[in-house]
Structure 1
Amino acid sequence: MSLSTAPLLDVQDLGKHFSVGRGILGRSASVVKAVDGVSFTLRRGQTLGLVGESGCGKSTTGRLLMRLLEPTAGRILLDGVDVASLKRRELSAFRRRVQMVFQNPSSSLNPRQSVGAAIAAPLLAQGISPKEGMKRRVGSLMDRVGLRPEHYNRFPHEFSGGQKQRVGIARALALEPEVVICDEPVSALDVSVQAQVINLLQDIQADTGISYVFIAHDLSVVKHFADSIAVMYLGKVMEQGTRDEVFGAPQHPYTKALLSSVPTPDPTASRAGRIRLSGDLPKPTDPPSGCVFRTRCPIFAALSDGERQRCIDVIPTGRVACHHPAKAAGLGLPPAARTERTLLAHP
């Protein structure tokens, strides 16, 4: 399948800040920069993996892309049009092109609504009347994701977790979108069911050329699924590149630490080279100056006074947000970091 070289989705210096607490005279006491200067591109028919620890801003970024949250700063361009500037009618048209699969399949479905009605909801909201009839259209969507169309009138509690997530995928596909944002769609599922859902998403992409923003903390899943990777930490992108660049030759110490934490099924594998990050994640209301990762960075203590001062004073930017990637290259990775976990039934 030939892919266009022009980006379908172009995110530029995206930011989202939340006011926390109240100070004197009702003024905001502090601000959490949940997303701070995030930039990336997504091309047609490709998948961008957005990874990082819990609380790093991945899900907030996904909601910003959907305009479920209003950005504080930056631009989100879909085919060159700024999503943040869209008015109500234009936003309705945007919803046809960008849809979302949520993390928890149980909480994302209305327990008092049949799965058929849930899948039909986007079509009704857009005023679309399928020529073949609504029930037949919904039935074909259910069949596409591996559900039995005759279960149209069943309710969510009658389905397993994997089946509920398939309902969520069918609902996201109802409007034939160009981009689907998958917010940790398999994290609540068993490993065997994860494989089925990931394979389903890949098959749909192969058939339709759809693009995905795949938000996850499981690096094994992302390695098998994504074409490009963006690694987030404390609201910022630490490193981004192709799958081979990030997994084959990681340059940021945080990326290396994440890869080294991936478990291996081999109990005899050596733990030598495992990178353990010291300290806790800094408070989002009071992030470190300069490089936000410096307080947990395994190479920071070994830097000279001048090098450390630069990390304290200057925010690193670029594909690898590190002032000293050459020094980080000396960090070892154990065999487990290759993330060769067997997950999918086919590549």
Structure 2
Amino acid sequence: MTTPLLEVNNLAKHFPTKGVLGRTTGAVKAVDGVSFTLERGTTLGLVGESGCGKSTTGKVLMRLLEPTSGSFRLDGEEISGLRGRQLDGFRRRVQMVFQNPASSLNPRQSIGAAIAAPLVEQRIRVPGGIKAKVADLMNRVGLRPEHANRFPHEFSGGQRQRIGIARALALDPDVVICDEPVSALDVSVQAQVVNLLKDIQADTGVSYIFIAHDLAVVKHMADEVAVMYLGKIMEQAPARELFADPRHPYTRALLSAVPSVDLEANLTGRIRLRGDLPSPSDPPSGCVFRTRCPAYLLLDEPGRQRCAREVPTGQMACHFPEAQLAMAQSG
């Protein structure tokens, strides 16, 4: 059995909350027990509502944030405890494309210098020189190399995101974490950037963790999808299976909100979750989704007690999948 490229086990990131006297009063459980694997040359989509913890997961995996607990391995090597030069070596293999291309680029730095920055920082000698490498990267992402001396404000949003992608590819990484890479772009430009990422993956074999809230984009991009809610994964499955037959009630609710060309389906097929999203500083006990679950109140008392007491585990985090399925078929 081959070792996954990236293996994440029970990863958690909690942010302490402070009281009026500066004392720690609790914690925001932004990521709380997340586990998944990423295979070589594939894309894992991390999806969910704003505040579900998907972007925090990406930042922890990039080691921009320190994990509270859990572990993650790259090619079998533990990453969560790396420091100094070892961490520099890890970042040669894992890079990130950020959500807002404007804020992730230095306005006083030419785009050529921005793309070359990882090579300079890591002190990597490039055959043919850094200038030639930058020109090659710009060509790869659909930019004109003769514009390397221009500055970010001279480019459109889509072009700036291409610059960010070129910068992420400079070190020939094994994994690129894409944190909402198209959410700030127009729909037509989104398709161009997504197709560019897929073409790059086909050419280089790079693996992606693709973080997004737009399920239509994820459907086009991902091989595997993990659906997050309040810092936990509710359902994980191959993309085709998940979109064709979503099993978790939260996944079904998210998919029902995706706009359809069928106007009647938009009006009648929407699943509206009851109540408000709980605070990640005080999540429900047991199953964190139970306070909004359409089937929870239909369960008998022992069933509701189990949901309130036990945290569901597995690829589909639900104690009563049969009841959920029956409800979906009847509704």
Residues 49, 216 of structure 1: 8 Å contact kept: yes
CA displacement at 1:246 relative to structure 2: 1.3
1:227 matches 2:223: yes
2-structure distance, mates of 1:67, 1:148: 32
Matches within 5 A, 1:1-347: 5-22=2-19, 26-269=22-265, 271-332=267-328
**Aligned partners of 1:247, 1:193: CA distance in 2, in Å?**
24
Q: Is the 8 A contact 1:274 1:332 kept in 2?
A: no
CA contact (8 A) 2:12 2:68 kept: yes
Name the CA distance, whole Å, in 2 between partners of 1:213 and 1:99: 10
Closer, same or farther: CA 269–288 of 1 in aligned 2, 3 Å: closer
Hey, what's the Cα distance between the residues in 2 that align with 1:306 and 1:198?
A: 47
Which amino acid in structure 2 is aligned with residue 65 of structure 1?
Answer: L
> Percent identity, aligned pairs only?
68
| Residues 260 and 266, structure 2, Cα contact 8 Å, conserved in 1 | no
Using the size of structure 2 for normalisation, the TM-score is: 0.97
Which ranges in structure 2 are unaligned for 5 or more consecutive residues? none
1:344 aligned partner: none
C-alpha separation between the residues in 2 aligned to 1:38 and 1:97?
22
* TM-score, reference length from structure 1: 0.92
Amino acid aligned to 1:282: P
CA distance in 2, matches of 1:302, 1:273: 20
**C-alpha displacement at 1:27, in angstroms?**
2.3
Give 3-state SS (helix, strand or coil) of 1:34's partner: strand
Deviations 1:114-161 (A, max 9, x none): 101000000000101322122121011001000000000100000000
**Amino acid in the other structure paired with 1:68:** L
Equivalent pairs counted in the alignment come to: 329
For residues 257 and 273 of structure 2, the distance between their equivalents in structure 1, rounded to whole angstroms, comes to 10
Q: CA deviation at 1:23?
A: 5.4
Residue type matched to 1:10 in 2?
E
Alpha-carbon distance in structure 2 between the residues aligned to 1:167 and 1:198: 14
